[in-house]
Structure 1
Amino acid sequence: MSKPRSLALPPRTRVYRLTTARGSFAVLDTAPAGPRRGTALLLPGYTGSKEDFLALLGPLGEAGYRAVAVDGRGQHETPGPRGRAAYRRKALALDAVAQAAALGDGPVHLLGHSFGGLVARAAAGLAPDAFVSLTLLSSGPGRVARSQRVRVRALRGALALLPKERVWLATRWLDSRGEEPGATDPPEIVRFLRRRWMTTRIAQLSGAGRLLLGDPDGTAALLALPLPLHIAYGDEETVWPVPDLAATALRTGAHHTVVVGAGHSPNVSHPVELAAELTAFWERAADVVSTGSAGAARSRRAGHGAVRRGRAGNG
């Protein structure tokens, strides 16, 4: 789960419901500071929401990109059905394709954080023409780390047996014993986290957890995508094994960004550095796509990047 450090809206950001062919979705839509260089659709992770990208939206807008973060179906402020079938991978992927179309800007850059990466991969496979590029942020094509599988299984089991409020309190206690045991969140952040937890559908939490636990290795599917590919993560990533992410980037020839000092959410902890790498990749990806060369797109793919000691550079 990403935890925003502030709920302040960046400049030029609208909050509204995006109407699509598959229903309406709550979004944060940040306009570019000047001429638009492109549009990015940002999909959040497990137990997360569009607010996970608040710190990233401003830098992307300043760099000339329209950046739209979305609550998926059943997530936070987007309603969702109760049934299990509504949260299968294909249904969620079709939602992302519909969201991209509804933005009205033509093909967009697609970014999925964590669980959102699973959805983004599937969406790009279903409708590659809807997207200029694909970025997997802190998200792998293989299985999550064993500790995370245990956590997701426990969460799904608890949701099946206990009131949602009880599960919320238990997760807060576990977080207090985790990476920052002495840390305290500001009251407004705690209120937001609780509201997000309580408004997210149990069916969505259960369905997303099921997909995380059962996700097959998607490296072959990534290799087949006719899109520029970017794999980005922090060097202190905990949900997917870092060696697996690095190996996937090497095998696929993806543009590869490592955010030094970041954990599972560089979008929260290192937004300026991450935005610099994203926009550099997007600019090169747009150039590759504009040539109309499928071979160039498959060969990826715009080079290798790294963020080190909080600064952007090439490695």
Structure 2
Amino acid sequence: MSRPRTFVPPVGARAYALATERGKFAVVDAPAAAGTEPKGTALLLPGFTGSKEDFNPLHEALGARGYRTVAVDGRGQFESDGPEDDESAYAQEELARDVLAQAAAVGDGRPVHLLGHSLGGQIARAAVLLDHTPFRSLTLMSSGPAQISVPQQQRVKLLRDALAVLPMAEVWEAMQAMEAPEELAEGDPEEHAAYRADQEDLRRRWLGNKPAELLAAGRQLCTEPDRVDELAAVPLPFHVLSGARDDTWPLPLLDEMALRLRAHRTVVAGAEHSPNTDRPAPTAEAIAAFWDGVQG
């Protein structure tokens, strides 16, 4: 089987600039599948150095369950505009207010399901703490209670130091040199072509990020306080979802957070920090099952 292009949206999805009261944001908007009973809309927030395309593997399966899903590039991420050098524009409260505006724009007056991956989960949490009324539920995917693990803090510090002295293109080359190459099926030209295209898309995404956004987001990940008790007081259904292994927030931390939130808990076997791309089928099934329970 040839390797799928992860940056290619599913059939029927639209990529466009979503207009909100806080500006325009690039989205991939995938409708509920034809012939299904529409159950609601979900807003999906990507993580650090990620983008809306990280959710491409989930759209079709969630659409088949009756959900419209709208994945968004946050301010300064990939195809959404933002200041190049002003880190204050990317303060967590600013990004949380962006999420409230995005929810208002896609919800058509109805609450939406909110899902955030990693850093996106902490931004989603901040939005819910500002105002929970635009939301029907909150899913925290591979997103922990406070700052990231010490080894990941060290990686973020290396990245921040590099961004302070090198252009974005040179930082990309340095990161690629440190990564182990992905193993591909020998002699499969379609898979090799898809891999090369994905690498070019990843480079294009990296260069689209605003340096100030990366610097501010990295600082937030390394200093985020524990706000679980505040969140537990919010009258929303919660879902804590992760892979079976996570170096960014170890599973015991996520398990404890779920208990403190009285949240539904899902561990996706065979997945690590990005279950949406590691194991999209069981991840989509778990998300849809939680949303179905909320609807009921």
Query: TM-score, normalization: structure 2?
Result: 0.92
Unaligned runs of 5+ in 1: 288-315
Q: Which residue pairs with 1:291 in the alignment?
A: none
Deviation at 1:36, TM superposition (A): 1.2
Distance in 2 separating the partners of 1:230 and 1:222: 12
Q: What does residue 50 of structure 2 align with?
A: 48
Q: What SS does structure 2 have at the residue aligned with 1:226?
A: coil
Query: Match for residue 139 of structure 1?
Result: 143
Aligned twin of 2:105: 102
How many angstroms apart in 2 are the aligned matches of 1:137 and 1:79?
A: 25
AA aligned opposite 1:107: P
1:143 deviates by: 2.0
SS of residue matched to 1:11: coil
Describe how 1:110-259 pairs up with structure 2 within 5 A.
Answer: 110-176=114-180, 181-183=181-183, 186-259=195-268
String of CA shifts for 1:101-150, please: whole Å, max 9, x gaps.
Answer: 00133110000000000100001111100000000000011221111100
| SS of structure 1 residue aligned to 2:14 | strand
- Tell me the CA shift for residue 286 of structure 1: 2.7
CA contact (8 A) 2:242 2:273 kept: yes
**Kindly, what percent of the aligned residue pairs are identical?**
50
- Deviation >4 Å, runs of 4+: none
Shift of the alpha carbon at 1:5?
Answer: 5.1
Instruction: Please list, as runs of the form range in 1=range in 2, the aligned pairs for 1:27-46 lying within 5 A after superposition.
Output: 27-33=27-33, 34-46=36-48
What residue is the counterpart of 1:295 in the other structure?
none
User: Where does residue 312 of structure 1 map in the other structure?
Assistant: none
Cα RMSD (Å): 1.3
Q: Which residue is 2:11 aligned to?
A: 11
1:72 matched to which residue of 2? 74
Aligned equivalent of 1:23: 23
Residue aligned with 1:129, SS: coil
C-alpha distance in structure 2 between counterparts of 1:163 and 1:269, whole Å = 30
**Partners of 1:144 and 1:241 within 8 A in 2:** no
C-alpha distance in 2, partners of 1:6/1:198?
18
Question: Match for residue 275 of structure 2?
Answer: 266
Unaligned runs of 5+ in 2: 185-191
In structure 1, what is the equivalent of residue 187 of structure 2? none
Aligned-partner Cα distance in 2 for 1:123–1:252: 16
AA in 2 matched with 1:24: K
User: What is the rounded CA distance, in whole Å, between the counterparts of 1:193 and 1:10 in structure 2?
Assistant: 18
Deviation string 1:243-283 (CA, Å, 9 cap, x unpaired) is 11111112221100000110111101211111111111112
d(CA) in 2 for partners of 1:248, 1:213: 18
What TM-score comes out, normalization by structure 1 length? Answer: 0.86
For 1:57 and 1:247, the matched residues in 2 are separated by 29
Contact 1:5 1:268 in 2 (8 A): no
Tell me the amino acid that sits aligned with residue 163 of structure 2. L
Give the Cα–Cα distance (whole angstroms) in 2 for the partners of residues 39 and 74 of structure 1: 24
The answer to whether structure 1 residue 81 and structure 2 residue 90 are counterparts is: no
CA distance in structure 2 between the partners assigned to 1:172 and 1:183 by the alignment: 15
Q: Which has the higher contact order (CA 8 A, sep 6+)?
A: 2
Deviation at 1:80, TM superposition (A): 0.5
User: What SS class does the counterpart of residue 103 from structure 1 fall into?
Assistant: helix
CA contact (8 A) 2:229 2:260 kept: no
Matched residue SS, 2:107: coil
Q: Provide the aligned length of Structure 1 versus Structure 2.
A: 280
Distance 2:283 2:82 in 1: 31
Q: Distance in 2 between matches of 1:16 and 1:251?
A: 38
Question: Does structure 2 retain, via aligned residues, the 8 Å contact 1:43–1:112?
Answer: yes
